[in-house]
Amino acid sequence: MVPAAGRPARTVVIGFGAAVVLGTALLSLPAASAEGRDTDLVQALFSATSAVCITGLAVVDTEQHWSLFGEMVILGLIQTGGLGIMTLASLLGLLVSRRLGLRMELTAQSETKSLGLGEVRKVITGVIKLSLLFELAITAVLATRLALAYGYSPTEALYSGGFHAVSAWNNAGLSLYNDSMTRFAEDPWICLTVIVAVVAGGLGFPVWFELGRRISGRQRRWSLHTKITLAVTGLLLIAGFTAITAGEWDNRDTLGGMGWPGKLLAGAFAAVMPRSGGLNSVDIGEMNTATLLVQDVLMFIGGGSSGTAGGIKVTTFAVLAFVIVAEIRGEPSVHAMGRRLSAVVQRQALTIVLLSVALVMLTTLTLLLLTPFTLDEVLFESISAVATVGLSTGITPDLPPVAHVLMSVLMFIGRLGPVTLAAALALRDRPRKYELPEERPIVG
């Protein structure tokens, strides 16, 4: 049984904290580093946190610094973090929905505030099956392309394809190549496969579960969560692609040197990765300031709930958008796609967004004080860490050790914060015994 009210969030934090500690210890071993390389404690901590929290920021060159053992440790941490996030977020979401269902339905079945063993098993096995299915399919495509087009041996192709399949599906952003995906910028087989993997992993298990039920005919209507996730994801991808491609079209350091098919492909890749993919096919540090700002916004929003994507999540962003529309129209309640949004959901969305903004601003200010880098670079790095995206303008390895420790804490908070905070807020039950007289301050 899953603990009720308050304890699930604590369990998630402890579990992921233990994974980070174990990963740090393993990466600190001499066997984890390549010959002639040394790994200090801060580098091990940062790398382990980035892998477990499926972020993708790196302080060392993954291709050159780690031995095969070290790469396998990182791969294992990515897989553990990805499966853990999807499973635990889905279980917490199910627990929350049952708890809220109790208040609305008041049926005998809803009296339990915990999850049954069958439900837990169903979620866990579903997440594992879905992840392995996608990862195997992605591995097959990438390995075949690497072997046939780039001369990789079968073993090298399978290993590289498998590593990047796991990284892409889990939105981890880590690559075995020191230039990430830049060498494949105009290869549609590689880039489109990675794009599909990142988008699919970022949708979240609840959406895939519902899609499966819809295809099998067991469900006729889409839930509001799935409608919002699919609609907003599509809109953000289109808007991001248009803005980034147009902004970088003539930039010789990014898209400018490619033919138009390559520009469109690289533009699509750059539009998808800020949702938490973390890989890049062009040099992020050479992008225009306006384009970096677009990516800042996309990174902050992130992907779907109960998936491997980071950020505040597209549903949170959509809820606030619906609130704004209702307020502009002067409507007394907020409606979205044929459903009314409760005041509780609106307050939760507002809380998550404002706390995330505060965390980004505090991080940005701290890094500006600690480093000589510009506001554009530092803001980008801060959002990438808090939203667990993994994209970087290239300044991460040059940050001082104290900043690396700070970024490790941010990645941990950024990955688990929205999940645990949303669950804690929804499961918390403190009814007021009385209401104070109402008064309205001047707003705006």
Of 298, 422, 411, the residue nearest 352 (C-alpha): 422
Cβ atoms of residues 179 and 97 within 8 Å: no
Report the C-alpha gap between 150 and 181 in whole angstroms.
Answer: 14
Domain boundaries, the chain: 7-427
- What is the DSSP secondary structure assignment for residue 33, as one 8-state letter? B
SS (H, E, C) 332-358: CCEEECCEEECHHHHHHHHHHHHHHHH
CA torsion 306→311→315→317, rounded to 10°?
170
Sign of CA dihedral 237, 243, 248, 250: positive
Cβ atoms of residues 395 and 307 within 8 Å: no
Q: How many CB atoms lie within 10 A of CB 76?
A: 17
Cα angle for residues 314, 320, 323 (degrees, 5° grid): 140
Supply the pLDDT for residue 352: 87
Within 8 A by CB and 6+ apart from 159, the residues are none
Report the C-alpha gap between 324 and 302 in whole angstroms.
Answer: 20
Supply the pLDDT for residue 420: 63
Supply the pLDDT for residue 74: 95
pTM for this structure? 0.86
Backbone angles phi, psi at 304, to 5 degrees: -85, 160
Supply the pLDDT for residue 108: 30
- Report pLDDT digits (tens) over 339-349: 899 888 888 88
Report which secondary-structure segment, H or E, holds 278.
none
- Report pLDDT digits (tens) over 168-217: 999 999 999 988 999 999 999 999 999 999 999 989 888 888 888 888 77
Look-up of token digits 């892409």: 168
Distances in Å between the alpha carbon of 389 and those of 53, 136, 249, 414?
10, 23, 24, 10
The pair of structure tokens assigned to 68 is 């095969």
Q: How many CB atoms lie within 10 A of CB 254?
A: 27
Within 8 A by CB and 6+ apart from 119, the residues are 94
Report the C-alpha gap between 276 and 370 in whole angstroms.
Answer: 26
Supply the pLDDT for residue 93: 57
The pair of structure tokens assigned to 310 is 């980071």
- What is the DSSP secondary structure assignment for residue 342, as one 8-state letter? P
Cβ atoms of residues 306 and 210 within 8 Å: no
CA torsion 131→137→142→144, rounded to 10°?
150
User: How buried is residue 168: exposed, middle or buried, by Cβ count under 10 Å (0-12/13-18/19+)?
Assistant: buried
User: How buried is residue 103: exposed, middle or buried, by Cβ count under 10 Å (0-12/13-18/19+)?
Assistant: exposed
Q: 401-427 and 375-386 are packed helices; what angle lies between their axes, rounded to 10 degrees?
A: 50
Cβ atoms of residues 420 and 13 within 8 Å: yes
Low pLDDT (below 70) residues in the chain: 1-10, 86, 88-120, 418-432, 443-444
What's the chain's Rg over C-alpha atoms? 22
Cβ atoms of residues 99 and 111 within 8 Å: no
